[in-house]
Amino acid sequence: KSLMLTCGMYNASGKFAAFVGMPAKSGVSGGIMTLVPPRSRQAVPFQDGCGIGIYGPAIDEYGNSLAGVMLLKHIAQKWDLSIF
Q: How far apart are CA 63 and CA 71, in angstroms?
A: 16
- Cα separation, 59 vs 70, in Å, equals 12
Strands 50-55 and 24-26: unpaired
The domains of the chain, with CATH numbers, are 2-79 (3.40.710.10)
Residues of the chain with pLDDT > 90, as a percent, come to 68
How confident is the model at residue 42, as a pLDDT? 62
Residue 25: strand pairing partners: 33
Quick one: what percent of the chain has pLDDT higher than 70? 93
